């Protein structure tokens, strides 16, 4: 057998690796999917944009590290970040993914409602939201991670209640529909969307009181709040396109 230390993990027999987390933090802005990126201030990939992330501390789990980095990059409070849904995407381990050293990275995805521009905190030269369509070639293998994250989020919208994470505490069904349309890149029929959402037990719950108008024009919409369900029954399937990105649910993973 070729494994260095398969049974007794001899601390001197294994190769040491650096372990990082990378974060794909999404929001919906003006009907476009945006992702939080930071500009690299050093080589390699100096001046290129990258997913925020960083090294695990010696006594820290990957999810803790992801929350810590997220708080640093967005300026969100610990309480907000602590309650947030963080989805572990997958781990990237190609030996040459960092030109300088061996780094394996655990990727996470997070969803936020539309926020003010990030407080370019942390170490990055600058941080801002990018339209996912306009985000140029990123540093390292982050284009791939970003694409995987987008796929996974799109798939999870089908059978989970995750979409409400993109919305503020109270939202209209039109806003929720906007999330689906933006992430999937399709247009949905409004009455049908409404019917499905209201038929899914625990997806949303109506807010008492008078309706609020969204943008100003049109009939005021009723307000809803996220329900207590986490899974969607029946699922809200995206229309079968000719490309059908429903292939390798790895990205999905459910």
List residues binding a second copy (CB under 8 A): 1-9, 11, 14-19, 40-43, 53-63, 68-69, 72, 87-88, 90-91, 93-95, 98, 100-104, 106, 121-124, 152, 155-156, 159-160, 230-231, 233, 240, 244, 246-250, 252-254
Residues 224-243 that bind DNA (CB under 7 A): 234-237, 239
The SS3 assignment for 91 reads strand
Q: Which of residues 187-226 bind DNA (CB under 7 A)?
A: 189-192, 194-196, 199, 211, 213-222
- Whole-number minimum distance, CB 246 to DNA, in Å? 13
- Spatial neighbors of 79 by CB under 8 A, at least 6 apart, are none
Q: Is the peptide bond before 217 cis (omega within 30 degrees of 0)?
A: no
| From the list DNA, a second copy, none, partner contacted by residue 172 (C-beta under 5 to 8 A by kind) | DNA
- Contact between 53 and 91 under an 8 Å Cβ cutoff? The reply is no
Shorter beta-carbon distance to DNA: residue 19 or 173:
173
Considering the complex, state which of residue 141 and residue 175 has its C-beta at the smaller distance from a second copy: 141
Partner whose footprint covers residue 173, from a second copy, DNA, none (CB < 5 to 8 Å by kind): DNA
Residue among 62 and 223 whose Cβ is closer to a second copy: 62
Residue 193 DSSP one-character state: H
Distant-in-sequence contacts of 119-123, Cβ < 8 A, 24+ apart: 119/74, 119/75, 121/72, 121/73, 121/74, 121/75, 122/38, 122/52, 122/69, 122/72, 122/73, 123/41
CB 115, min distance to a second copy, A: 19
d(CA 227, CA 243): 32
- 129-149 burial: b if 16+ Cβ within 10 Å, else e: bbebeebeebbbbbeebbebb
Site for DNA in 28-67 (CB under 7 A): none
Which positions touch DNA (CB under 7 A)? 172-174, 189-192, 194-196, 199, 211, 213-222, 234-237, 239
């Amino acid at each position: 057998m070729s494994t260095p230390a398969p049974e007794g993990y001899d601390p001197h027999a294994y190769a040491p690796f650096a372990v990082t987390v990378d974060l794909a933090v999404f929001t919906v802005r003006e009907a476009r999917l945006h992702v939080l990126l930071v500009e690299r201030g050093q080589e390699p990939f100096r001046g290129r944009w990258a997913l925020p992330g960083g090294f695990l501390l010696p006594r820290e789990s990957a999810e803790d590290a992801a929350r810590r980095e997220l708080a640093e990059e967005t300026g969100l409070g610990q309480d907000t970040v602590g309650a947030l849904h963080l989805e572990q995407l997958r781990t990237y381990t190609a030996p040459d993914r960092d030109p300088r050293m061996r780094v394996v990275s655990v990727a996470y995805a997070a969803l936020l409602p539309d926020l003010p521009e990030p407080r370019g905190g942390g170490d990055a030269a600058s941080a801002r939201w990018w339209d996912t369509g306009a985000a140029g070639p990123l540093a390292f293998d982050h284009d791939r991670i970003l694409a995987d994250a987008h796929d996974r989020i799109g798939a999870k919208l089908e059978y989970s209640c995750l979409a409400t994470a993109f919305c503020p505490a109270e939202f209209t069904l039109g806003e929720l529909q906007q999330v689906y349309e933006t992430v999937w890149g399709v247009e949905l029929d409004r009455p049908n969307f409404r019917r499905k959402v209201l038929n899914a037990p625990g997806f949303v719950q109506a807010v008492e009181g008078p309706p609020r108008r969204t943008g100003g024009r049109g009939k005021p919409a009723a307000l809803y709040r996220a329900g207590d369900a986490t899974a969607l029954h029946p699922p809200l399937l995206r229309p079968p396109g000719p490309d059908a990105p429903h292939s390798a649910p790895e990205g999905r993973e459910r």
